[in-house]
Chain A
Amino acid sequence: MSDAAALLRVRGFALKRSGDAKAEVEDLSFAIQARETLILLGDAGAGASAVMRFLAQVPDPGATLGGTIQIRDQPEQPLGKSRLDLRTAYLPGPHANILNPHESVVSQLALVIARKTHQPKASAAAELDLALQRLPGGPSLDALDQPPTRVAPEALAAGLLAAAMSQTPDLLLADDPLGQLSPAHARAFASALKAEQQRLGFAILYAALRADVARLLGGNLIVLRSGRLIEEGPVSRLATAQSHSYTQALFRASLPGDGLASVRAATRGEPLLRVQGVHLKLPGKVKDREKITFELRRGASLGLIGEIGSGRRSLTRALLGMEPLAAGRIVFDQVDIGVLSPAMMARLRRRVSFITGDDDALDPRMTIFDTVSEPLRAHLAMPRDSIAHNRDAALKRVGLAALPGSRTVASLAPFDRRRLQIARAIVSQPLLAVIDEPLHGLDAFAQSVVRDLLRNFRSNEGAAILFITSDFGLARAFCEDGLVFKDSRIVERGTMASLLRAPQDPHTRKLLEAVAALPVQSGTDIKPVAEDPVSSTQPPGG
């Protein structure tokens, strides 16, 4: 990376908190030029957030800074001694907690723009509107004039990007905004971000948890681990040839992985789940609602692939009798669930387990032992010795045996909670496992571990799997068959092999192309799809 005429040059950045034995960041040096992208890649706790906080000029009480900083041609100065003469804008991920939940997104973003650019709020709102119009297919200002909980993540991401652009920054501090988006939306967002970068000429400092983001954005890469620089270089070089084993592991973890080795190996007997002519009860009028029909055999795996709001989750809730059907019939384990009372339906659901990317899926008050033991007590009425034995075996399989069993779920990191969900699913001995975006919010290493655990679960437990995801790479790794959803309709269906080999529907092609490095067979008649809109204005759900 050339230092000539750098916009920003940092030497020996170090941050240590009082009371901590180890520094959060040690001796990190980097330089960024205008129009350049620098990615700080590493897992949670690698140190990128400390750099972000410093450059965003948010005081870190109790922290000692070391190192020097030079902005453009100005003299080099020690870190933290004075305000930085640099226009920065912060671009976070579109999770709902980033903004006040009671006030509209527009109001809050306009206030941020107004304060950063020293203009009245009304002018700031107008700037925001203009910036939104520049984003291809971006949401309207009215669509964002709602509390953040009512705005779809893609729309919120576009709003945050527009707010950052309105500040005409010299340096954009991007705190992994792509990590919260589905692959298709992430790809579109990355295109929009790069287009804005070319137009406005700002530099990007991007904090990433996963290497696939680096592939999307390009530029230069610094790999961090426990606050230290491990490796650096252009993304184009590091994506194909890494020197350090840690970097290799990060890039390997971001690959979609191999597909299923055997197809339909465990399918036998009657279908476990038969869905016949189902209409979902959805808000609003939907013309020509398609009747959904499919079946899932015992031990087989079916991917429900689509974006948020496409109807996958509504269908899953209907399959479990948790939502009413407008029409149709669902037979689960040879029982028509339409004739069951709520109590009997609840008994049927005992053979269903969930593994989700939702951090709130487990009761935070419960201990690790209680979380895994509960299905054994409640469903299988096992004696205590057996419960303890099965519980310990499951925890060992997922790598949580070393943690004290009396630790509460609330004290666990998301990675550990995800593994705990898998342990709970193991002991439940389910007929059907519903796996819903299981890698959401995890860093690269955690994702590779969870992937392995899920493969292990699939091959050992023999449960049929409904896999809900927007990532075709993930679906390919776990599913034999797939249903592609859009607007509560199935737009394409087939085996994963056929969907990959010859996708017919444009939406399917779009989802496929969003997954970088997905091996698609040669000779495929896939035309490059035009850059898709950044966002939809669908409310979150389904």
Chain B
Amino acid sequence: MWRIWLLAAAQFLGSLVGAILLVSLLPVIAHPPDGLWPFVTELAERFLKIGSGDFGRSAAGSPAMTSAWAAFPLTVQLLGLGVALALLMGISLGFLLSAPRAIRAAAPLLQIVTSVPVFLVGLALIWVATPSFHVITSADEPDLALSIMVRHGDWNSAWSAYFLPALTIGVAGAAHLQMSLRRAAAAAWMAPYRSGLRMMGLGLLDINLRFALPEIIAALLRDARGFILTLISATAIAEWIFHRNGAAVLFLNATASHDWAMATATLLLFAVFTLIVGFVGDLLASFIVPEDTL
């Protein structure tokens, strides 16, 4: 087991170095120097600078990583709320629909729902919330934290600033999660050992709880990276539609304005975040269902 963890740690560090190299490439490609050797030299300089924490200054003049880091908590907050909603909706939907009859009945509806792009979900939520619940989405960034809004009963702000964006992210995450769940469940249901254990006297509940369920959970954990990538994309869309100044929309604006220092800093934050989530997911999965390789 320790060999697998050592390999995973090496892979993690290697991926981290790779991520730094990748983001170092952006400004160099954007303004490529003449000749191969100057290109390589500048790339190496950028890599070393970024590796030592120097991301340069943004177009606004502030240190890029400082601004990116300041905007990151909001993104993480929305992401966290989205994850909670995604788990709630996705897992219950996934298990409900894993029975064959339920699948057949719900398949057409499921196809339609999962075909809707995330930004349309956000727009639809606004369209429903505005006339029905009188939620007004504003282009101005709200001053207060969610907890304060709730304490003061400012539900309009809470909905427009947090809950609706989180719901947008949650729906995207739920769609991804229930598909992963159904794939994992289908693989577990078709496993050849089920009939053998059944003949040997184990009940279906035993087989499902003791063997199938850990495999399904492990499969979901191994897909943690894919799940978080879906949520990050959805967060960017949600921040854009609901006018939240998180790190995701900071990245989009920086890229649009060719502020490569800021784009590099935000992109690296997201890459490292994804890397950590994927690493943790793989480690947990290897605890639950040990595989020969991570």
A116 CA to B203 CA in the complex, in Å? 10
Cβ of B199 and Cβ of A100 under 8 Å apart?
no
> What residues of A have a CB within 8 angstroms of the CB of B206 in the complex?
111, 115
Instruction: Tell me how far the C-beta of B246 lies from the nearest C-beta in chain A, rounded to whole angstroms.
Output: 40
Asked whether B201 is an interface residue with its Cβ less than 8 Å from the other chain, the reply is yes
Q: How many residues of A contact B (CB 8 A)?
A: 23
Asked whether A325 is an interface residue with its Cβ less than 8 Å from the other chain, the reply is no
A-contacting residues, B172-199, CB 8 Å: 191-193, 196-199
Cβ of B202 and Cβ of A111 under 8 Å apart?
yes
- Give 6 new A-B contacts, CB below 8 A, not counting A92-B200, A102-B291, A173-B199: A56-B201, A98-B197, A100-B193, A101-B193, A102-B289, A115-B206
16 A-B interface contacts by CB (under 8 A): A52-B199, A56-B201, A92-B196, A97-B193, A97-B196, A99-B193, A99-B196, A102-B215, A102-B289, A102-B290, A111-B206, A112-B197, A115-B203, A163-B200, A167-B201, A175-B199
Given the known A-B contacts A102-B215, A103-B211, are A116 and B201 also in contact in the complex, defined by CB atoms under 8 Å?
yes
Instruction: Tell me how far the C-beta of B217 lies from the nearest C-beta in chain A, rounded to whole angstroms.
Output: 12
Asked whether B210 is an interface residue with its Cβ less than 8 Å from the other chain, the reply is yes
Task: Annotate A56-90 by CB proximity to B: 1 below 8 A, 0 otherwise.
Answer: 10100000000000000000000000000000011
Cβ of A90 and Cβ of B289 under 8 Å apart?
no
Minimal Cβ-Cβ distance residue in A for B203: A115
Given the known A-B contacts A102-B215, A102-B289, A111-B210, are A90 and B192 also in contact in the complex, defined by CB atoms under 8 Å?
no
A103 CA to B211 CA in the complex, in Å? 8
Instruction: Tell me how far the C-beta of B196 lies from the nearest C-beta in chain A, rounded to whole angstroms.
Output: 4
Asked whether A53 is an interface residue with its Cβ less than 8 Å from the other chain, the reply is yes
Task: Annotate B197-222 by CB proximity to A: 1 below 8 A, 0 otherwise.
Answer: 11111110010001100110000000
A85 CA to B291 CA in the complex, in Å? 41
Residue of A100, A102, A167 ringed by the most chain B CB atoms within 10 A: A100
Cβ of A112 and Cβ of B202 under 8 Å apart?
yes
Cβ of A58 and Cβ of B199 under 8 Å apart?
yes
A111 CA to B191 CA in the complex, in Å? 18
Asked whether A108 is an interface residue with its Cβ less than 8 Å from the other chain, the reply is yes
Q: How many residues of B contact A (CB 8 A)?
A: 19
A240 CA to B170 CA in the complex, in Å? 73
> What residues of B have a CB within 8 angstroms of the CB of A58 in the complex?
198-199
A509 CA to B109 CA in the complex, in Å? 69
Instruction: Tell me how far the C-beta of A240 lies from the nearest C-beta in chain B, rounded to whole angstroms.
Output: 34
Given the known A-B contacts A102-B290, A111-B206, A111-B210, are A90 and B201 also in contact in the complex, defined by CB atoms under 8 Å?
yes
Main secondary structure on A side of the interface with B: mixed
A175 CA to B291 CA in the complex, in Å? 30
Instruction: Tell me how far the C-beta of A154 lies from the nearest C-beta in chain B, rounded to whole angstroms.
Output: 18
Which of B197, B201, B291 contacts A99, CB < 8 Å?
Answer: B197
Instruction: Tell me how far the C-beta of A454 lies from the nearest C-beta in chain B, rounded to whole angstroms.
Output: 29
B-contacting residues, A97-152, CB 8 Å: 97-103, 108, 111-112, 115-116
A89 CA to B200 CA in the complex, in Å? 7
A159 CA to B289 CA in the complex, in Å? 22
Task: Annotate B252-294 by CB proximity to A: 1 below 8 A, 0 otherwise.
Answer: 0000000000000000000000000000000000000111000
Instruction: Tell me how far the C-beta of B69 lies from the nearest C-beta in chain A, rounded to whole angstroms.
Output: 41
Cβ of B193 and Cβ of A112 under 8 Å apart?
no
Residue of B191, B199, B202, B215 ringed by the most chain A CB atoms within 10 A: B199
A103 CA to B202 CA in the complex, in Å? 15
> What residues of A have a CB within 8 angstroms of the CB of B199 in the complex?
52-53, 56, 58, 90, 92, 173, 175
> What residues of A have a CB within 8 angstroms of the CB of B200 in the complex?
89-90, 92, 112, 163
Which of A53, A89, A101, A115 contacts B202, CB < 8 Å?
Answer: A115
Given the known A-B contacts A98-B196, A99-B196, are A115 and B211 also in contact in the complex, defined by CB atoms under 8 Å?
no
Minimal Cβ-Cβ distance residue in A for B288: A102
> What residues of A have a CB within 8 angstroms of the CB of B214 in the complex?
102
Given the known A-B contacts A102-B215, A102-B290, are A108 and B192 also in contact in the complex, defined by CB atoms under 8 Å?
no
> What residues of B have a CB within 8 angstroms of the CB of A56 in the complex?
199, 201
Minimal Cβ-Cβ distance residue in A for B206: A115
Instruction: Tell me how far the C-beta of A200 lies from the nearest C-beta in chain B, rounded to whole angstroms.
Output: 17
Residue of B200, B214, B289 ringed by the most chain A CB atoms within 10 A: B200
Instruction: Tell me how far the C-beta of B25 lies from the nearest C-beta in chain A, rounded to whole angstroms.
Output: 36
Residue of B191, B192, B203 ringed by the most chain A CB atoms within 10 A: B192
> What residues of B have a CB within 8 angstroms of the CB of A89 in the complex?
200-201
> What residues of A have a CB within 8 angstroms of the CB of B201 in the complex?
56, 89-90, 112, 115-116, 167
Instruction: Tell me how far the C-beta of B90 lies from the nearest C-beta in chain A, rounded to whole angstroms.
Output: 24
